[in-house]
Structure 1
Amino acid sequence: MKRFYPLFILLLLIQITGTFAIDKKSKDNFLSVQGLVLDVEGSPVSYANVFVKNTVKGTLSNAEGVFQIFDLEEGNYELQISAVGYKTISTAVSLKKGEFIDLGSLMMEIGVEMPEFSIIANKDRIFSQVPGAVNYLDRKEIQSLKPLSGNEVFRRVSGLNVVDEEGLGMRVNIGIRGLNPDRSRSVLMLEDGVPVALAPYGEPEMYYSPAIDRMAGIEILKGSGQILYGPQTIGGVINYITPNAPENEEGSISLQGGQGGFFSGLINYGNTLGSTGFQVNLLRKSAENVGPTQFGITDFNSKVLFKLNDRSELGAKIGIYDEESNSTYIGLNQVMYDQGGQDFERLAPDDRLNVSRYSLSLSHLYRFQPNIKLRTIAYGYTTTRNWNRQDFSINSTNTPPSNWTGVLWGDESIPGGAIFMRDGTGQRNRQFEVLGIEPRLELDHELFGAVSELKAGIRLLAENAKEQRVNGTKAGVKSGDLIEDELRTGRAFSAYFQNETKVSDALTLHGGLRLESFNYKRNIYRRNFSGIGVRDTTLVAENSVQEIIPGVGFTFKPSPVITVFGGIHKGFAPPRTKDAITSTGDALDLEAERSWNYELGLRTELAHWLYLESTAFLLDFSNQIIPVAESAGGLGFGVVNAGATRHQGLENSIIVDFAKVFGLEKWALDYDVQVTYVDAYFSEDRFKGDININGNKTPYAPEWIINSTLSVKNEKGWSGKLTYNYVGDQFGDETNQILPSVNGRIGQIPSYFTFDAVLGYELMEKNLSFNVAVKNLTDQRYISTRRPQGIRVGLPRFITAGMNFNF
């Protein structure tokens, strides 16, 4: 706790400063320009971005479309106004000393946009109508971090516990509000509204993670609005947003290089020709030695938009992804970590993971009337995940196996302290196919005498998974004997509606219902049975799960700058199809995960320089399932039924614009902090061995997580950002064992903190910028995780440099 006392002191100073600074606005800040942003029908465009080019000045229009810009010096300026779904407009302003200009009404034309699903309304990017905790990170914020991976971006969001595995976020592990972060199983992951997990129902693991480099934004929803999506409604929804076709020809080239041969290169190009727009990007990312990791990624994506007529648009999107890395499951044991000097050794240098993904989606929007829209999205994708991993042996007597290669890690003098590398491999090859279609009706109505918006739709989805395990008799080989062979299939139907009713100018009610129906089957053709050996078989297990998921919420605005929100919804996640048969061949009738989720929060802009958000939450599980997959440090099969658990806590965010506080004319100076407190524990009697774990903390659920940034920029083009991240103590297992096991997989994970820094310089007139970024500035050594099979040490100090050119 002492490590972040300075943050609490700073928060106190901010509040004290605010007491005096609210009245200071009229004395030290002078209003230079104001205006009103309207659409062609005369309705206000809320929360449009208003930017004064070649300066650090900018703002958002308010809920009524009004914007104000303070402290501009005498001179000629160009204001650029943009909003999602509208064409960008510019207007010239000539300002004399001490003069105030009212631009009056500025009209924005509706732009052509991909008819995709987003989880936040385009006109509500500061969430005045969202009945729950929600976050939106735009491209500017993403790029300012110069992230190695999406993990750095997700840490900017309160309530999220992001666990590094290989330091590069290729397999993202996110836990929301104390939920298990392993492979992000408890989070619904989308890209432009389309699922991206291996199999959204049966195996929602994130072995493929969309590259953050190519994203235009990230949406995170944790409230009752989740029922519009599914199948998972437990932790939250994360939606990656890719860039749409630009109105005019534009492109960019981004290059970043660093230690260990790290390279990232991204090329973007797009244009709109007549009624057709397109956007294309190609990413190449690679490294020889980032920590222990060697990898190469090629990622191609393209979007095309056809405006068919005034009523209809059609969009198409394709993606091709190819990855090869030396990702491995084996990590350090506790002996190696304590001895030091081996943090980034490649214990199994021949391990290889190949991931390839091909995706296609079509989206269509048809406007029957201005108030009636039908939005349809159809998609299909295949993911191949082939992982070749060398076998190894650990035993309490440190007895070498018969096929020992002679390579030993650890210490033979300590019982169980040696890792013996074996002359054999296990190739775990999986191929997934997903096909889905979802039409959604959007209706603005006044059926009950109040302004309302109805969203209703259905979804049909089919998923197949083919898995084979091939055991090789030499390390590094890619062939061998077929040990396991199986096919898993799933067929799902969903139907849902959500109605938003504006009861008054201040109060909006939200209510909805979702139906999930999932039928799945597991066919095992070949398997290694305990005490019998490898046999061909015809084992079949099938089951079906149906669930009705209600949700209600509200937003209440007692004033234009205060929003109170809350909601209750049912949490649901279907069981994994892979767990439908035990290792001995017995069929399991698995239960789904179920919970009731509650939250109550407040969003407010107390002053034009201060924004606050605070949310209290409770997740009450009647049945939470914790997978005992190898990636969770288990045996590689089955599940642990955790029974009843409870997750409760607070999420707090504060954003301060110090440039407005102190009347800085040529500087932007922003500070923000996100503080998360989570108390997640088992809430009923349950025994693991002789230990009753009732009241114990759930694994990988730190009580405290803090992320904070200080950003500075001046009109000469210099910028800087300092980011602080703190993660509190957490446990590696249900028994809350503090002392670490010799193999390193169980034991308390001590708290740690890191600092990241970015220094940038922009040549505005040449559309060229340069940057230097330092990750883990103070070179902290810490355990990031004890999963999958041993300790992973956090990335040491890592330096990159890069440039970006827009054309």
Structure 2
Amino acid sequence: MFMRRLLFILGFFLFSNVVFAQSANLALQIRDLLGGLIQGASVEVKGVVSRTAQTDDKGSCLLKALPMGKYQVAVTAKGFASKIVEVELDGESKTIEIVLVPAPAVAYVSVTSNYLAGKPESLEVIPGSFQTIDKDSLENARFFTPSEALRRIAGVYTREEEGFGLRPNISIRGTLPTRSTKVLLLEDGIPLTYAPYGDNASYYHPPIERFESVEVVKGSGQIGYGPVTVAGVVNYITPNPPQDTALSIKAFGGNRDVFDGNISFGKGFGKTGLILNFTRKQGQGARDNVRIGLSDFSSKLVQQLNNRNYLTFKFSHLKEDSRVTYSGLTEAEYASNPRQNPFRNDSFSLFRTGFSVQHTSIVTAQSSLVTTFYINYFSRDWWRQSSNSNERPNRLGNDPDCRGMQDLYTTCGNQGRLRDYLTWGIEPRYNANFKIGDVNNDLSFGIRIHWEKQDRLQKNGDLPLSRDGVIVENNLRKNLAFAGFVQNRFIWKGLAVTPGVRVEHIKYKRTNRLNNTTGETELTEVIPGLGLAYNLFSNTTIFAGVHRGFAPPRTEDIISNNGGVVDLESEKSWNYELGIRTRPFDGLRVESTFFRMDYSNQIVPASLAGGVGATFTNGGKTLHQGIEIFARLDSADILKSKVNFYVQTAYTNLQKAEFRGVRYSSVNTSVLVTGNRLPYTPKTLLDLILGVTYKNFDGFLENNYISRQFSDDLNTITPTPNGQRGLIGAQNYWNVTVNYRIEKWKTVLFMTTKNLFDKTFIVDRSRGILPSSPRLVQLGFKWSLR
């Protein structure tokens, strides 16, 4: 009934708007300084409605039936500086000419080298599924966590934890979400995690305010990056320095003592550009006795050396001091109070400092070399009295003064899991465009040297607030990796064929400093891929691809604590996809993809997750198969109206996610689980948005649905007393956001409500039960000077 009423109201306003709207055509002619026509220039119009177009062989394009109002017309073309002009339509059709000036090719390459999928003018030849969240979407949605943004990507499932998204659990196409270990996270094409080869776990994530846009690539294009190519790549794009002075201040707050503040400043100084960004987040988490505090600073400096060379320097520093536990709840605890957290003395602190320098050079008019050096240091201390719901508390049985939960706040000690990571790498990437006969070629190849060092300590303290103790683990782990890839895109008429191959060679070393034992091993993997894209019509691309999925084992899994080498293979799969991207008419865009991930060896836990050093084992065959659909419909583009009602959806149907071959349970090794569904693989994901934009107002209602899922390989329905096994029911969240722009104040006022109906769901059982975040109501503003 609610949906019927909502659709009736939307339809009524939509009809009223159509009746009274006036529109006009806008014709564009794009030329260079000598009067030459520029073919293939990308045109983006933003204002009352948004449109995109490309110039034809006469340098022209026509945007029909634009409603009256003010518009910004942005034009980009390879080899030219971008240009933005303002146009006001009063109901009369207009023709305008825009002249582009040549830009140093190095400037274009410097900006686009951070993108995986490419800029808009190259998207029709991308041989695989991808989706982006652009700057405006990130801005207007008022995302509080990165996970909220990624839910808008078809095929992506994100699982909540502490409520701030600082330790994300990201799954793509049914991979295990825990700590995002099967997803490659990048920032401007550079590894974001602290140890992508030796320990690809995400105990750290920058705030979403650091980024300008997000890319997710799931096809064969992954082989240009690594080491993880199993499911997909998430690439966060940071903003580039502006030409003119830009300053913005954003702040919002809400219930549960939430505060989120951000200040950004950018300015161009001749051939130098600088941008600075600072964010502070704090507040209560999803449970009692959880308090988050995070400060993040990032900067980027771009220096033009000459018309052929650019340098880009980046520096970032993130610091977190939080009171947060690792353990979930037992069934009895959850029934008593789903948001309780008895471990109020648990403490988590980290800092991460990163630096990179990138040199962009134009070798010839059609080739470029981009070389990136990066280094980061990550330190994490987590003092806790429990790591899972079986530990009540963790020093019970090991400390005579700890007799149970009655001594938790007095004489029970704790465990300190102390981690330090140092990572650096250097990666040159060469790109060349050339033509052989009638075939255009886009060649890319690169190599990378990557080094990691892990210092891992565990100390057992005597008291609840101890920050030192007896050393019971002292490990030094090192990884040295050499990687290289080559791929060439053959483009002939409307067909693009992209074969490629990646090679990874990884050296592992682990030293137990307590008994002075050391183990070493190495592995090599060849990762081929092939992608096809056919531009069926000017607005429709069919694509297909196949590539080898690869994820290396962690250092601690392939070498035991006593120096022995474990017979553990890399995680490998063959990944297939077939899809279509289309804009059948103005106002509608759709991407639909069929995917299949056929694992020959999926590594799985040998025991249930719990933060107690669970080992891993060769898992054997599994199969992931389904479809994903992304679609957006804008009424203003269709009906040429001032008011825009829009519908956007990201839908995933993971039809199959099951064990294959002869498979026995890790819970009960005598029970066959062949054909059972994989844990933490909901069959259906749906993110549906109904929104409206009119003049200075923008608002939307969002529904995020996650179907039920199992928490173990036995597909257990009835919960176990410790809460670690049992069915996880379906989750359904409603969110609402409104923005209102006050032009004369250069200010946007906004309000957002997450989990509108304040529902409590179980989101995880791996360490005991974790609840979803409660309702969050947040009010704020953003002031901008530019």
TM-score with structure 2 length normalisation? 0.91
Partner of 2:142: 146
Q: Which amino acid aligns with 2:305?
A: L
How far is 1:108 from its partner? 5.8
Q: Give yes or no for contact 1:516–1:547 (8 Å, CA) kept in 2.
A: yes
- CA 1:687–1:303 in structure 2 vs 1: closer, same or farther (change >3 Å)? same
Superposed CA offset, 1:441-468 (max 9, x none): 1000124651111001100111110100
Partner of 2:732: 753
Q: Give yes or no for contact 1:49–1:60 (8 Å, CA) kept in 2.
A: yes
1:540-689 alignment runs, 5 A limit: 540-582=518-560, 586-627=564-605, 632-633=609-610, 635-664=612-641, 666-678=642-654, 679-688=656-665, 689=669
Instruction: Provide the C-alpha distance between the structure 2 equivalents of 1:438 and 1:344, rounded to a whole number of angstroms.
Output: 46
| 2:465 is the alignment partner of 1:486 | no
Q: Which amino acid aligns with 1:654?
A: A
Partner of 2:335: 338
Partner of 2:426: 437
Q: Give yes or no for contact 1:58–1:69 (8 Å, CA) kept in 2.
A: no
Partner of 2:245: 249
1:522 to 510, 529, 534: 510
| 2:300 is the alignment partner of 1:299 | no
Q: Give yes or no for contact 1:136–1:220 (8 Å, CA) kept in 2.
A: yes
Instruction: Provide the C-alpha distance between the structure 2 equivalents of 1:156 and 1:658, rounded to a whole number of angstroms.
Output: 20
Instruction: Provide the C-alpha distance between the structure 2 equivalents of 1:296 and 1:629, rounded to a whole number of angstroms.
Output: 33
Instruction: Provide the C-alpha distance between the structure 1 equivalents of 2:38 and 2:530, rounded to a whole number of angstroms.
Output: 28
Q: Give yes or no for contact 1:390–1:476 (8 Å, CA) kept in 2.
A: no
- CA 1:45–1:267 in structure 2 vs 1: closer, same or farther (change >3 Å)? farther
Q: Give yes or no for contact 1:673–1:709 (8 Å, CA) kept in 2.
A: yes
2:225 to 205, 208, 229: 229
How far is 1:636 from its partner? 2.1
Instruction: Provide the C-alpha distance between the structure 1 equivalents of 2:210 and 2:32, rounded to a whole number of angstroms.
Output: 30
Q: Give yes or no for contact 1:116–1:193 (8 Å, CA) kept in 2.
A: no
| 2:85 is the alignment partner of 1:91 | yes
- CA 1:311–1:614 in structure 2 vs 1: closer, same or farther (change >3 Å)? same
| 2:345 is the alignment partner of 1:350 | yes
State the secondary structure of the residue aligned to 2:602: strand
Q: Which amino acid aligns with 2:26?
A: V
State the secondary structure of the residue aligned to 1:156: coil
Q: Give yes or no for contact 2:461–2:470 (8 Å, CA) kept in 1.
A: yes
How far is 1:168 from its partner? 1.0
Superposed CA offset, 1:231-282 (max 9, x none): 1111111111111110111110110111121111111011111111111111
Superposed CA offset, 1:598-625 (max 9, x none): 0000011111121111100010111011
| 2:698 is the alignment partner of 1:719 | yes
Q: Which amino acid aligns with 1:221?
A: V
How far is 1:127 from its partner? 2.6
Instruction: Provide the C-alpha distance between the structure 1 equivalents of 2:19 and 2:434, rounded to a whole number of angstroms.
Output: 42
Instruction: Provide the C-alpha distance between the structure 2 equivalents of 1:394 and 1:234, rounded to a whole number of angstroms.
Output: 31
Greater Cα shift, 482-491 or 778-787: 778-787
Q: Give yes or no for contact 1:583–1:638 (8 Å, CA) kept in 2.
A: no
State the secondary structure of the residue aligned to 1:698: coil
Q: Which amino acid aligns with 2:636?
A: A
Instruction: Provide the C-alpha distance between the structure 1 equivalents of 2:593 and 2:275, rounded to a whole number of angstroms.
Output: 38
Instruction: Provide the C-alpha distance between the structure 2 equivalents of 1:548 and 1:615, rounded to a whole number of angstroms.
Output: 26
| 2:439 is the alignment partner of 1:450 | yes
* Superposed CA RMSD: 3.1
Partner of 1:110: 103
Q: Give yes or no for contact 2:166–2:204 (8 Å, CA) kept in 1.
A: yes
Q: Give yes or no for contact 2:67–2:640 (8 Å, CA) kept in 1.
A: no
How far is 1:368 from its partner? 1.5
- CA 1:709–1:207 in structure 2 vs 1: closer, same or farther (change >3 Å)? same
Q: Give yes or no for contact 1:684–1:694 (8 Å, CA) kept in 2.
A: yes
Partner of 2:758: 779
- CA 1:771–1:394 in structure 2 vs 1: closer, same or farther (change >3 Å)? closer
Partner of 1:416: none
- CA 1:397–1:613 in structure 2 vs 1: closer, same or farther (change >3 Å)? closer
Greater Cα shift, 461-470 or 58-67: 58-67
Superposed CA offset, 1:659-715 (max 9, x none): 233442x21221111110112111111112221111111111100000011121111
Instruction: Provide the C-alpha distance between the structure 2 equivalents of 1:359 and 1:564, rounded to a whole number of angstroms.
Output: 40
- CA 1:437–1:244 in structure 2 vs 1: closer, same or farther (change >3 Å)? same
How far is 1:198 from its partner? 2.0
Query: What runs of 5+ residues in structure 2 fail to find an aligned partner?
Result: none
Instruction: Provide the C-alpha distance between the structure 2 equivalents of 1:395 and 1:458, rounded to a whole number of angstroms.
Output: 46
| 2:704 is the alignment partner of 1:708 | no
How far is 1:151 from its partner? 0.6
- CA 1:93–1:577 in structure 2 vs 1: closer, same or farther (change >3 Å)? closer
How far is 1:171 from its partner? 0.5
Partner of 1:216: 212
1:114-129 alignment runs, 5 A limit: 114=110, 117-124=113-120, 127-129=123-125
Q: Which amino acid aligns with 1:776?
A: N
Instruction: Provide the C-alpha distance between the structure 1 equivalents of 2:522 and 2:616, rounded to a whole number of angstroms.
Output: 18
State the secondary structure of the residue aligned to 1:183: helix
- CA 1:258–1:39 in structure 2 vs 1: closer, same or farther (change >3 Å)? farther
Partner of 2:324: 327
State the secondary structure of the residue aligned to 1:178: coil
How far is 1:421 from its partner? 9.9
Instruction: Provide the C-alpha distance between the structure 2 equivalents of 1:95 and 1:116, rounded to a whole number of angstroms.
Output: 32
Partner of 1:258: 254
Instruction: Provide the C-alpha distance between the structure 1 equivalents of 2:309 and 2:638, rounded to a whole number of angstroms.
Output: 47
How far is 1:67 from its partner? 5.1
- CA 1:462–1:654 in structure 2 vs 1: closer, same or farther (change >3 Å)? same
How far is 1:90 from its partner? 3.8
Partner of 1:62: 54
How far is 1:320 from its partner? 0.7
Instruction: Provide the C-alpha distance between the structure 1 equivalents of 2:231 and 2:603, rounded to a whole number of angstroms.
Output: 13
Partner of 1:385: 380
- CA 1:117–1:522 in structure 2 vs 1: closer, same or farther (change >3 Å)? farther
- CA 1:585–1:490 in structure 2 vs 1: closer, same or farther (change >3 Å)? closer
- CA 1:494–1:200 in structure 2 vs 1: closer, same or farther (change >3 Å)? same
1:351-370 alignment runs, 5 A limit: 351-370=346-365
Instruction: Provide the C-alpha distance between the structure 2 equivalents of 1:181 and 1:508, rounded to a whole number of angstroms.
Output: 33
State the secondary structure of the residue aligned to 1:127: helix
- CA 1:125–1:260 in structure 2 vs 1: closer, same or farther (change >3 Å)? farther
- CA 1:80–1:119 in structure 2 vs 1: closer, same or farther (change >3 Å)? closer
Q: Which amino acid aligns with 2:370?
A: R
Greater Cα shift, 223-232 or 765-774: 765-774
Q: Which amino acid aligns with 1:682?
A: F
Q: Give yes or no for contact 1:29–1:70 (8 Å, CA) kept in 2.
A: no
- CA 1:784–1:408 in structure 2 vs 1: closer, same or farther (change >3 Å)? farther
1:32 to 25, 34, 56: 25
Q: Give yes or no for contact 1:628–1:634 (8 Å, CA) kept in 2.
A: no
How far is 1:213 from its partner? 1.3
Q: Give yes or no for contact 2:700–2:738 (8 Å, CA) kept in 1.
A: yes
State the secondary structure of the residue aligned to 2:412: strand
Superposed CA offset, 1:190-240 (max 9, x none): 001110112011111111112111210001000000010011111111111
- CA 1:283–1:677 in structure 2 vs 1: closer, same or farther (change >3 Å)? same
Partner of 1:100: 93
1:697 to 663, 669, 677: 677
- CA 1:84–1:356 in structure 2 vs 1: closer, same or farther (change >3 Å)? farther
Q: Which amino acid aligns with 1:81?
A: A
Q: Give yes or no for contact 1:542–1:580 (8 Å, CA) kept in 2.
A: no
How far is 1:325 from its partner? 1.2
State the secondary structure of the residue aligned to 1:479: coil
- CA 1:400–1:74 in structure 2 vs 1: closer, same or farther (change >3 Å)? closer
Partner of 1:529: none
State the secondary structure of the residue aligned to 1:642: coil
Partner of 2:413: 424
Instruction: Provide the C-alpha distance between the structure 2 equivalents of 1:804 and 1:397, rounded to a whole number of angstroms.
Output: 46
How far is 1:642 from its partner? 1.9
State the secondary structure of the residue aligned to 1:207: coil
